[in-house]
Every structure is written in C-alpha cells, then in structure tokens.
Structure 1
Amino acid sequence: MGFEDFFHLKLDPFSNVPDPRFFFSSYEHKLAIVKILYTIDKMRGLSLLVGDVGTGKTTVSRKLLLTINKNPNFKAGLIVLTNNHFKLSWFLDRVAKFLNIDDDYDNYEEIKGAIISKLISYYKSNKKVVLIIDEANNLKERDDIIEEIRGFLNYELGNRKLMTFVLIGTKEILPYVRRNESFYQRIAMKLQLKPLSLTSTKEYIKYRLKIAGADVNIFTDDALNIIHEASNGIPRLINIICDNALLDAALQKKLPIDGNMIKDISKLYSIESEI
C-alpha cells in the first residue's frame, strides 16, 4: 500500500532516483550550477565540484547535462564511474563514443589521435565540447586517468581548450588531484556543494510535494524544522525522512504530519537528531 491515494498525490515526491521533474533550484545548487556553467561557456578546461554523500551531486550533474545540451553550440556528455577498476583503454573508448567516433582502434596512439582530430573538427564547427564525470571520487589511485585528463587540457585552439571537463564527486578525490600539481593548477573552478539551509530545506520539501500534486500543507512548520535538524540539510536524508513520514501518516490516517511524528521517524530509522 502506498500513500499517494491518501494524500491525493499523482507522483512519488521523495524517491531518491534522480528525476528532472523534481529538480529544486535551491540557492546552494543554483550557485554551483551557475559557476560551473560560466567555466563551461568560457571553456576554461576544468571544474571540480565536491560534496558529502547525499548532497545532490548526481542531481546537479544531470541538470548540467540537460541545460548544456539545450544549447546547439555545445556537445555535452556524461560518464559515471561506478568503481575505479577500469582500464585506461575503457576510459578513452567512452570518450571516443561520446564524440561519436564509431571505429575501433588497436592501440593508444590511434584512439588518442582520433579523439584529438574529432575535437578539432568540433572546434571548426563552432561546437564547444564538455564532458561531465560523475562519481569522480573513483579516480582515487588512478593517476593514469588524471594524467590523461591533464593531457587533454593541453590541447587548445583560438585561445580556448578543445574540451572542458567537469569532475563531480565526494571529497575523497581531493588528495589525489592535489598530488598532481600540474593537474591541480589547471582547475579553473573549485566548488563545494553544501547541505541545504533551513529555508532551502522547507522550500525543497514544499516544492517536491507541489510537483507531486499536493494541494494542502502536509507537514507542519515544526515538522519541517525537525526534518532539517535531523537530516542536517542533506537532500537524500530529507527524502528518506519525508518518505517514511508520509507512509506512517497514511497508515495512521493522520494529517498534517507534526514534529512528534518526525521525531519518532528519525529515531526509528537511526537518523541522528539532538532534538
């Protein structure tokens, strides 16, 4: 049994699966996106966005991809690194496929040459090439990939880079990019995605409920305050608390959801709160 019928919702408002329909442009996320889009537009070469687990990095990466690809002057793609157990050849093959290079190559020199030729072709067509790498923390202990990206940043025409990279991941990546001084110095924009403020948390919850079809206030203001405190403003934890609160409220046929219910939810699901 779901809670959608009880609350007259058309969609699940707090799923942790990224959904562009539920993207909430909080101050924290908007600031990161605007700054990254600036470096992309200027083709500065390399941006780095880090944040704690659950702060919405993947959501930002998807929003960036959608926004950039709306502009016909850009060619943007996304690579998600699910682990760090991959070969350099796999990485270069993903870059080649992103650039619409369909041929297979037997060695490093051939595929690298094909990639650079394609980048020059895009440049001559007035296309700006942008590659977003999500879960970039999986570049840990991968000095070869970091060095390869640094090598791509050396290619320029007309006073701009042939390709701009956006690395997005947890802070775990920082020691590994810092130890390649040449790479680290090429980072044009370093950003940290911070948790949501109390104001942003309240707006985030209300926005997602509105998109889902809510036509009444489901959470009391006290409940919203406690959700922020219990989640520390981390979107993923906000979603977990709200999702479970909606289910419990529907089972109890309780509306609105008050602070006491949120306290119980926080304790039940081991989400720490000092309240």
Structure 2
Amino acid sequence: MYEDYWNLQARPFENTAIPAFYYPAESAQGTLLKLRYAVENRRGAALLTGGEGLGKTLLAQLLLEQLPEQFTPKVHVVFPYMPADQLLAYIVRELVGVEQSATSTIADSVQAIRRGLSENTRAGKHAVLVIDEAHLVADFNALETLRLLTNLETDGMLDMTLLLVGQTEILPALKRAPAFETRLAVKCMVKALTADETASYVLHRLTTAGARREIFVPEALERLHQITNGAPRRINRLCDLALLIAFAEEQSVISAEQIEAVHEELVAVSTD
C-alpha cells in the first residue's frame, strides 16, 4: 500500500523469516557459529532459546540454508504441540519418507527412523531435525522420545543432530530431564538488539527493500529502541504501522513524535 510513496520495492518490516532481510547482529552471528559447530561436528543435540520475537525461527532457517550439502535431510517442525506418538509419526514421514499406519506404535516409528537414518549415515550424510516452538512440547514422553533419537548412531557416528528452538519456558523442562540436558552440546540464548543495532537493523531492512533516503530520523530510532527494547518483532510491527500512517498523512520523514503516537495507538487498542 505504501511502497510507492516511500519508493520501496517491498514491504521492509514483514514478520516473516525472509533471509534477505536478516540483520547480522553480534548475538545472532555468534549463535549461528555455535549452532554450525554443533551440526557440522555431528553433535547429538543443541538448544536455541530466547524471549518472544527475537528471531529464533529465522536463525534456524538460516542455519539450514548455510549447511553443506552432505547435511541432509533437513527437517523443520514448526508446530510440535502433539502427543508423542503423533509427533514421532510426523517426524518419520518428514525425515525418512515413511508413512506410518494408524496402528503404528512409538517403537515402530523409532525403528523406521533408525533404519532410514542408518542408510543415510552410510551414504556419507548427516540428518538435521529442528523442533521449533519446542517450549510447547509439554508432554514428558514426547521430550523423552526426542532424547532417545539423539542416541541413534551407525558405525560409531551419530545419525542426526537435534536442534530445539523455543522460548525460555523450555529451560525448566530441560532441568527436569537432566539426561536430555547433558546431551546438549551447545546452548544459545538470543539477545535483544542494542540501541545502535536497532538503528542499523531498521536501516538494513529499509535498504534491502529499496530505500535510498532517510525515512526514520535518528530521534525516531532512539525512541523506537526505548519502546521495543530491541525486540525485532516489535520493531517490525511499529515501523510497518508508522510507514503506513506517515504515508496517509503525507509526511516526508518519520519523527520520534510519530513513533510515540503509533505506539500509544497500539497500546490503546490492545487495552480496550
């Protein structure tokens, strides 16, 4: 709607995991390095956690894209909130391409995964399984089943790396499952953006979308960081709405006062 007004080729603040809009903040880059280490060295499991809206899913997708071709198959489970048997049946289908019957047990699914991954390992490959929103795996049996998958190995090599991605609510659950926690070769905590990173993040996304001039004045970026605490999802929401309103009001730039007004409008709507 507002792209032509701001001379943009795309909407810069969509809350979707688009790699081209990835901003290499220090915390994010360090996290990617650690996760690549875990996968490329065939570790059994790793953890990526952090608060809501900090870009964990995008980091997981970038990791999968950056891995060398021998790291396959790569499966990304985005909604794991299901009983252990259903979760495992889904993983079997996505990971080794085997459709389980309605009467298949957890043991049947584990055996199907074992056979498929063993063949994969002997072919010189290594599987990667990402469980996103892992804090939703509240079923202890499901968590324990995932742990058992990290034991699978062929000829002395682990068949798969499991990456758990979730909000910090997953940490207490892992503490109650010490056998699982000890298998985590790497534990990463994504941090919010600093004030300088917030400004660079906004500029990066605008430039990627085609912007060639200043749109948010420096004071607006400072206020944006204060309001959002450096959380990318909140930054995206506020910036997107600010661009829309400034377009409707035919403003040439976005000021700190406009950022504040948009924020107050969002707060008012959410509390009514």
Identity of aligned residues (%): 30
Gaps of 5+ in 1: none
Q: Which residue of 2 is the match for residue 123 of structure 1?
A: 121
Gaps of 5+ in 2: none
Q: Which letter maps to 1:21? A: A
Question: 2:23 aligned with 1:29, yes or no?
Answer: no
Say whether the 8 Å CA contact 1:44–1:160 is kept in structure 2: no
Question: 2:245 aligned with 1:248, yes or no?
Answer: yes
Q: Which residue of 2 is the match for residue 62 of structure 1?
A: 61
Larger CA deviation: 73-82 vs 168-177: 73-82
Task: State the distance in 1 between where 2:156 and 2:41 align.
Answer: 10
Task: State the distance in 1 between where 2:183 and 2:89 align.
Answer: 24
Task: State the distance in 1 between where 2:181 and 2:214 align.
Answer: 47
Rate the CA distance shift 1:269–1:103 in 2: closer, same or farther, 3 A. closer
Q: Which letter maps to 1:209? A: L
> What RMSD over aligned residues (CA atoms) do the two structures have, in Å?
1.6
Say whether the 8 Å CA contact 1:3–1:247 is kept in structure 2: yes
Q: Which letter maps to 1:7? A: W
Q: Normalised by the size of structure 2, how large is the TM-score?
A: 0.92
Q: Secondary structure at the residue paired with 2:148?
A: helix
Task: State the distance in 2 between where 1:152 and 1:100 align.
Answer: 13
Q: 2:151 aligns with which of 144, 148, 154?
A: 154
Trace 1:79-118 onto structure 2 (pairs within 5 A).
79-81=77-79, 84=81, 86-105=82-101, 106-108=103-105, 109-118=107-116
Trace 1:65-80 onto structure 2 (pairs within 5 A).
65-68=64-67, 71-75=68-72, 76-80=74-78
Task: State the distance in 1 between where 2:64 and 2:93 align.
Answer: 16
Q: Which letter maps to 1:93? A: A
Q: Secondary structure at the residue paired with 2:189?
A: strand
Question: 2:187 aligned with 1:190, yes or no?
Answer: yes
Q: Normalised by the size of structure 1, how large is the TM-score?
A: 0.91
Task: State the distance in 2 between where 1:42 and 1:158 align.
Answer: 16
Task: State the distance in 2 between where 1:152 and 1:61 align.
Answer: 19
